[in-house]
Amino acid sequence: MASHGAGHALDWVRTRWGPDAVARVVRRTPITNGYSSQSVERLDLIVQAGDGSTVELAVLRKHATEAEVTVLRALREVTDPRASALPELLADGTDATGPWVVLPFYSGSTLASEAEVSDDVLESLAVLHVRHVNATLPGLPIVDGTWWDNGFRHVDRRLSELLPTAAEPAPLREALDLVRSLRGDPLLVRTPERLSRTLVHGDIHANNILARPAGSKIIDWGAATLAPAMLDLANLVAPDSPRFAVYVEAWEAAAGRALDLRLANVEYQWATACVNIKYLGFAAHHLGGGTVRDMLGRARRALNALAHSDV
């Protein structure tokens, strides 16, 4: 295989266990749940080190986009031990199908709801956001007018597909009206231009967080983007909650300065509108009209608060 940093998906074992280490795959198991990639497998390995000792372990190999490879490499630069919920990139390369990555296989269960998010996730996000503030990462989407237009088109298309057979069509019509009225809205499009951007996961929710005895892991970084940091918080915590204070404390420790809570609140309101609009199609399909109405209410309240901000 050709490679960006490794000639083969198992070459990384020689870095960890010495130049004479050899890895053997004893089992391959396709993975179809919890990851966005269509080509994901668990590899159970036996590694024989140069001293003759053996180690058994499992890794995840998946095909990924170039952007996701860029993101996982960027996570390597976050060396603060408080960022323990970030995944580790073991190797990456390219084969006939495209880019691939190898990560440890993190066994665990996804959260039942965002209310279960643990402190290590919030601390990890804070450290990540500080490390990559105003970063330039080639190939990653940037939250701008084009990003918003693509997002609105996707939500519009999904709601339009669901509307003819919806058991509760009224909330979907209301959602479509809002989405179409907001396309190109300067509050949504221009607010990020007045705020700092950083590397964000971009799709934080319960199914992308693994709870494990050894500590949580944030998975599936395929939607990562450069955006205001609160895009990763608005779906997890309320700004006046003790859990938000966990994020703030970790952010300030990593940055060495106080977080501007006024600007953070503006970011949070923008992000709240964003995530509630972004997931309208999913909610309409899986959660019902009541949830759609709740999300519309949250989006409208956030937009109203944003309109009255002085940023």
Q: Say if CB 102 and CB 17 are below 8 A apart.
A: no
Mean pLDDT, the chain, as a whole number? 91
C-alpha span between 227 and 202 (Å, rounded): 8
E-strand stretches of the chain: 22-30, 40-48, 54-63, 91-95, 98-104, 109-110, 198-200, 209-211, 217-218, 225-227
58 three-class SS:
strand
Residues of the chain with CATH 3.30.200: 12-105
Tokens of 49: 């080190």
pLDDT at residue 33, rounded to an integer: 57
pLDDT band at 10 (very low <50, low <70, confident <90, very high): confident
When pLDDT is averaged across residues 182-191 and rounded to a whole number, the result is 88
What digits encode the pLDDT tens for the residues 65-82?
A: 999 999 999 999 999 999
CATH T-level topology, domain 12-105: Phosphorylase Kinase; domain 1 (3.30.200)
Tokens of 151: 């997002």
What digits encode the pLDDT tens for the residues 97-144?
A: 899 999 999 999 999 999 999 999 999 999 999 999 998 898 899 998
Which CA distances in Å does 146 have to 56, 124, 269?
Answer: 47, 29, 20
Residues of the chain with CATH 3.90.1200.10: 114-307
pLDDT band at 175 (very low <50, low <70, confident <90, very high): very high
For the cut 80, the answer to whether the pLDDT of residue 2 exceeds it is no
What is the distance in angstroms between the CA of the first residue and the CA of the last residue of the chain? 50
- Closest to 224 measured CA to CA, from 107, 74, 88: 74
114-307 — its CATH code? 3.90.1200.10
